[in-house]
Structure 1
């Protein structure tokens, strides 16, 4: 099932999402990194957990017209606070991705399409959005998604720096460079990978692991983190999919489980980037991941 609760990136093998290998390689070769605020270092005392209250989508009750829980991200944070895992001053505050950030993957033509409310209504599967002025749609619907996208890009860099990171949002895996859908307007996963390829020495490959959203997969998240962390491979978790009312609790329980097992910590990571044995570790990890049951 493509819809996922957690999608985890470990930086091994990667292909351009939503474009051919030729298009991806040509685009990559033509670009030079632009100036961005998304790679600015957060305070050292923060956990590599990225979030912003801007993630949550609320506007005159329209969010209730979709079966997704458009406020699940704030609920995850509240559950983690109740368990005293985190506090506001320990969270890395996500920043909104700018147009220049988004153009690393998306075409200008696609970003211009999002200036039409009916296009956004189709992508988000909320028909009444088509009748709203686009400035309202930009502020109340797309800005939260751009902020989550910025959070995924930030978390990618944090994963390399700290060994792991979690964006309590993002994971918009139905979006490609020139087309959105399934509540996914921006290709944050591809963006996170491309930012790393362009800006972080030693990162040239990535693996995307898409886990089932709808069954409560605490154990599978644990297996993925064990495989990656034991090999020194940086791992990034994003929290797309599974927008039912109970999903926020499942996500929080999985993060709490990872912490209780010692798989999450604030210490700086000794990652294997640039190591000649990295390819072997990635291949070993891939074997472990391929054995995860989807039943």
Structure 2
């Protein structure tokens, strides 16, 4: 009798477990949600993604942080001035919606962004905490959502055209449940997850993270996912020091302060080649931070502009050799000169035949306006007067719109290790 009851119990338990497994399987096979991010792009448009919504400009707040919040617009302007593309040959992204973000992000995290104090901590700009959240959403987070949409679109284009570049994105400190280091949304994780869900040809992905900082966001997201191989080359002595996230790195290269071109480029080339021998992905996601540039206040490395251009060339050469589509995002960079370097690097990729671009026709150089930079102290002094004028509707055009500035003279200085702050976005 007892054996019969035991057998009946086991049978029912097994049935319930199987039922649960079937439910989970069905849930996993649920079709992807409808989105405006993952759309077809006309063949006449290049797989270079950019929108004017990328740039952050609000009453001088962006000047309170070392990140160049207008970098993306300057890169785009340089490419237009150099006749590489024009407005009607550029792929335009849509803003990522909450439903799009929930593909990766936890609902509780997205809800936390409705508190200005949370966003102030992520962007490392304390005055943001004092602004009404509707302003923070529109002037700070909205540009990030557009750039996130840009990374997702560029990933799709990379699979279709062999390569894709988002002139923005690379928020590699954000993960599903947290933000930090000027990174609010996990665009790299989202782009790869969208591909896994929507493109049957993508079953494996490789992240090559060459920003000066450790990419702890995507590392946390893909900690236990064997479909994703992460190679991370970063300065070991700076932010974020995330020991837990390091467990997800399959090929880790930790640099010392002031590493120079010859050592750096050799490490990138040899390690990427070895990584591709170990793991053959369907796409490479390349996080191309320019905060490795000599004199960068947060990266604390000593790579020259030529070195950055050669680095990007190495990545695209390896991708071409192994016949793997590559997506590039621009990530960190805290000097005014980085915009010119990024543009020059893209031009070099075109000249070397590593990306296929026809010169934009009828592309007239646009008029550019010089904007004088102000110190942080001046920004603090005028912040609240500007806010008052903005809310009263009397802001001047210069205070409410980003302008491309001409190339400025910049003296590069190499900081001592003691001058390198233990913080920093991207």
Smaller-chain TM-score bracket:
0.7 to 0.9
TM-score (norm 2): 0.55
Structure 1 match to 2:292: 214
**CA offsets 1:13-48 (integer angstroms, 9 cap, x no match):** xxxxxxxxxxxx99x937531001111111110000
Query: 196, 213, 225: which one pairs with 2:316?
Result: 225
Structure 1 CA distance, aligned partners of 2:153 and 2:192? Answer: 11
- Residues 156-195 of structure 1 correspond to what in structure 2 (within 5 A)? 156-195=155-194
Q: Distance in 2 between matches of 1:53 and 1:229?
A: 30
2:208 is paired with a residue whose SS is strand
Partner Cα separation in structure 2 for residue 265 and residue 99 of structure 1? 34
Report matched runs for 1:76-155 at 5 Å. 76-155=75-154
**1:185-218, Cα deviation, whole Å (9 max, x unpaired):** 0000000000000000110111111114322311
Q: How does 1:6-85 map to 2 (within 5 A)?
A: 29=28, 32-85=31-84
Task: Indicate if the aligned counterparts of 1:76 and 1:249 stay in contact, CA closer than 8 A.
Answer: yes
Q: Against the structure 1 CA distance between its residues 186 and 86, is the aligned structure 2 distance closer, same or farther, given a 3 Å change threshold?
A: same
**How far, CA to CA, are the matches of 2:139 and 2:78 in structure 1?**
24
Q: Which has the higher contact order (CA 8 A, sep 6+)?
A: 1
CA RMSD, Structure 1 to Structure 2 (Å): 1.8
Supply the distance in 2 between the matched residues of 1:240 and 1:210 (Cα, whole angstroms). Answer: 10
Rounded Cα–Cα distance in structure 1 between residues aligned with 2:31 and 2:37: 16
Q: Is the 8 A contact 1:70 1:243 kept in 2?
A: no
Instruction: Give the conservation status (yes or no) of the 8 Å contact 1:72–1:243.
Output: no
Task: Select the structure of larger CA radius of gyration.
Answer: 2
CA displacement at 1:230 relative to structure 2 = 2.5
Residues 99-153 of structure 1 show CA distances to partners (whole Å, capped at 9, x for unaligned) of: 0110000010000000000000000001000000000000000000000000000
Residue 252 (structure 1) aligns with: 343
Match of 2:356 in 1: 265
CA offset at residue 243 of structure 1? Answer: 2.7
Q: In the alignment, is residue 234 of structure 1 matched against residue 325 of structure 2?
A: yes
**C-alpha separation in 2, matches of 1:35 and 1:233:** 28
Q: Deviations over 1:48-104 (max 9, x none)?
A: 000000000000111111111100000000111111001011100111001011000
Residue 201 (str. 1) matches residue 279 (str. 2): no
- Distance in 2, matches of 1:94 and 1:58, equals 19
Cα distance in 2 between the residues matched to 1:138 and 1:112: 12
How many residue pairs get aligned? The number is 243
| Contact 1:259–1:265 (Cα < 8 Å) also in 2 | yes
Large movers: runs of 4+ above 6 Å:
none
| 8 Å CA contact retained: 2:84, 2:357 | no
Taking structure 1 as the reference length, the TM-score comes to 0.80
Aligned to 1:4: none
Give the 3-state SS of the residue equivalent to 1:232 in structure 2.
coil
Q: Deviations over 1:166-200 (max 9, x none)?
A: 00000000001000000000000000000000000
CA contact (8 A) 2:171 2:183 kept: yes
d(CA) in 2 for partners of 1:69 and 1:135? 23
| Unpaired runs of at least 5, structure 1 | 1-24, 268-295
> 1: CA distance between counterparts of 2:353 and 2:194?
29
Distance 1:90 1:143 in 2: 24
How has the CA–CA distance of structure 1 residues 129 and 224 changed in structure 2, closer, same or farther, with 3 Å as cutoff?
same
Residue 266 of structure 1, CA deviation: 4.9
Aligned match of 1:18: none
Quote the Cα distance in structure 1 between the aligned partners of 2:318 and 2:329.
17
